[in-house]
């Protein structure tokens, strides 16, 4: 883990990334923006595939994790396609964005399935939701999410939900509904002001932990006592054995002495024989 984080020092910042892309793509980089911490690079559709290839293959960029690809409705001008890439080595995120040529009637864009395997289903989904055709894709049909014979492109803004047209919102209030006087109905923020039953909570958690700790201590105590008892027993046993051994030794010594006394003559005679 630490190794990964260390490699981040070499990561390019947004300006450097844009400069690098410009160097290879020239005029096809239309601009870039850092919004809420996310670096977005706007591209001309002609540079779409090349930019993805650069992002993956350029060693300084190395955007290896294909995060997602999706469409966004761009009102009269047609649709945007956005690809989010992430680099596991530098920890950077790059968002590529392009406006699909063909307007709302016949949007077509080149496919990047050759570069990222994960683009396959993402492009199928974009086709299913927006009707954007991807040239070079292995097969956009059958529609990936909706029913095979579904008519229309659900995520386009001109696709209206039939149920909503037929029936009003069944809940009590519409999203952020206005009251009779035209004011927004206000939510009563009464909870956030109170600090919450924190001290009691903490005390109880401490108690619970104390119980666990107590159990552990008791268990250890028991184990220690058991060990002590065992040690004492072993000691007693050892003492007993030592005593027994001593007694046995004494007896043996006595016997040996007696034997030695008895065997004195033959033993010495043996020695004499050996000699």
Partner 1 sequence: MSDLSTREKIHPGTAPGEDIALEIVGDGDFATTDMTLSIGPAHPATHGVFRIVLELNGERITAARPVIGYMHRGFEKLAEYRDFRQIKALVNRHDWLSGFSNELGVALVVEKMLEMEVPDRAQWIRMLIAEWNRVLNHLMFVGSFALELGAITPMFYAFRERDEIQYLLEAATGGRLHFTYNQVGGLKLDLPKGFLAESVRLSKLTQERLPDYFDLVLGNEIFQARTVGVGPLPPEVALSFGVTGPTLQAAGVPEDSRVTEPYLKYDEVDVPVHLGENGDSFDRFACLLYRIQYSLHIIDQIHDHLPAGPVNTKLPKMVKAPEGAAYQRIENPLGQLGYWLESDGGRTPWRLKMRTPSFSNVQSIPYLLEGMLVPDAISVLGSVFFVVGDIDR
Partner 2 sequence: MGVMDQVELPKPVRYVFNWGRKFSLWCFNFGLACCAIEFIAASTSRHDFIRLGVIPFAHGPRQADLLVVSGTLTDKMAPAVKRLYEEMPEPKYVISFGSCANCGGPYWDSYSVTKGVDQVIPVDVYVPGCPPRPEALLDGIITLQHMIQHESLPDRIAGRRQDAVTLGADAPLTLEGR
**Minimum separation from the CB atom of position 116 to partner 1 (A):** 6
Q: Are 115 and 70 in contact (CB under 8 A)?
A: no
Output 147 or 275, the one with its CB closest to partner 1: 147
**Minimum separation from the CB atom of position 147 to partner 2 (A):** 5
Provide the mask over 132-161, with x wherever binding to partner 2 is found by CB under 8 A and - wherever it is not. Answer: -------------xxx--x---x----x-x
Phi-psi region of 121 (alpha: psi -120 to 50; beta: other; left: phi over 0): alpha
- Residue 170 interaction partner, one of partner 1, partner 2, none, beta carbon < 5-8 Å per kind: partner 2
- Residue 118 interaction partner, one of partner 1, partner 2, none, beta carbon < 5-8 Å per kind: partner 1
Q: Are 66 and 118 in contact (CB under 8 A)?
A: yes
Total of residues contacting partner 2 (CB under 8 A): 12
* Residue 64: alpha-carbon gap to chain centroid: 17
Output 162 or 194, the one with its CB closest to partner 2: 162
**Minimum separation from the CB atom of position 163 to partner 1 (A):** 10
**Dihedral angle computed from the Cα positions of residues 97, 102, 107 and 111, in that order, rounded to the nearest 10 degrees:** -60
Output 110 or 129, the one with its CB closest to partner 1: 129
**Minimum separation from the CB atom of position 81 to partner 1 (A):** 11
**Minimum separation from the CB atom of position 150 to partner 2 (A):** 8
**Minimum separation from the CB atom of position 61 to partner 1 (A):** 14
Residue 157 Cα distances to 8, 16, 145, 240, 243, angstroms: 40, 36, 18, 95, 99
| DSSP SS3 for 72 | strand
- Residue 40 interaction partner, one of partner 1, partner 2, none, beta carbon < 5-8 Å per kind: partner 1
Q: At what angle do helices 14-25 and 48-57 cross, to 10 degrees?
A: 120
Residue 102 Cα distances to 31, 107, 120, 133, 155, angstroms: 21, 4, 21, 10, 17
> According to CB under 8 A, which residues from 160 to 199 bind partner 2?
161-164, 167, 170
The residue with tokens 């909706």 is: 146
Residues at the site binding partner 1, with contacts judged by CB under 8 A: 1, 3-5, 35-38, 40, 64-68, 70, 72-73, 82, 84, 86, 88, 91, 93, 95, 116-118, 120-121, 129, 143-147, 154-155, 159, 161, 164, 175-176, 184, 186-187, 189, 191-202, 204-205, 207-209, 212
Task: Cite the beta strand spans of the chain per DSSP E.
Answer: 29-35, 38-43, 65-73, 79-86, 93-99, 108-110, 133-135
Site residues, partner 2 (CB under 8 A): 145-147, 150, 154, 159, 161-164, 167, 170
């Amino acid at each position: 883990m630490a190794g990964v984080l260390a490699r981040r020092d070499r990561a390019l910042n947004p300006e450097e990334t844009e400069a690098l892309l410009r160097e290879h793509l020239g005029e096809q980089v239309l601009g870039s923006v850092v919004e809420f911490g996310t670096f977005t690079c706007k591209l001309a559709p002609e540079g779409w595939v090349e930019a993805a290839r650069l992002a993956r293959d350029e060693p300084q960029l190395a955007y290896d994790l294909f995060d997602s690809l999706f469409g966004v409705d761009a009102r009269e001008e047609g649709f945007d396609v956005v690809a989010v890439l992430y680099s596991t080595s530098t920890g950077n995120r790059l968002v590529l964005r392009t406006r699909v040529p063909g307007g709302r009637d016949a949007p077509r864009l080149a496919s990047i399935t050759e570069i990222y395997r994960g683009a396959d289903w993402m492009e199928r989904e974009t086709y299913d939701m927006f009707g954007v055709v991807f040239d070079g894709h292995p097969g956009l049909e059958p529609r990936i999410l909706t029913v095979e014979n579904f008519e229309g492109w659900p995520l386009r803004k001109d696709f209206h939900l039939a149920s909503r047209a037929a029936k009003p919102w069944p809940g009590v209030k519409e999203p952020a509904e206005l009251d009779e006087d035209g004011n927004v109905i206000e939510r009563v923020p009464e909870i956030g002001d109170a600090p919450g039953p924190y001290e009691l909570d903490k005390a109880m958690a401490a108690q619970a932990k104390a119980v666990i700790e107590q159990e552990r201590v008791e268990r250890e105590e028991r184990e220690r006592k058991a060990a002590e008892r065992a040690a004492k027993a072993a000691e007693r046993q050892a003492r007993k054995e030592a005593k027994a051994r001593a007694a046995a030794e004494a007896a043996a010594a006595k016997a040996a002495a007696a034997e030695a006394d008895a065997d004195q003559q033959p033993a010495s005679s043996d020695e004499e024989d050996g000699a």
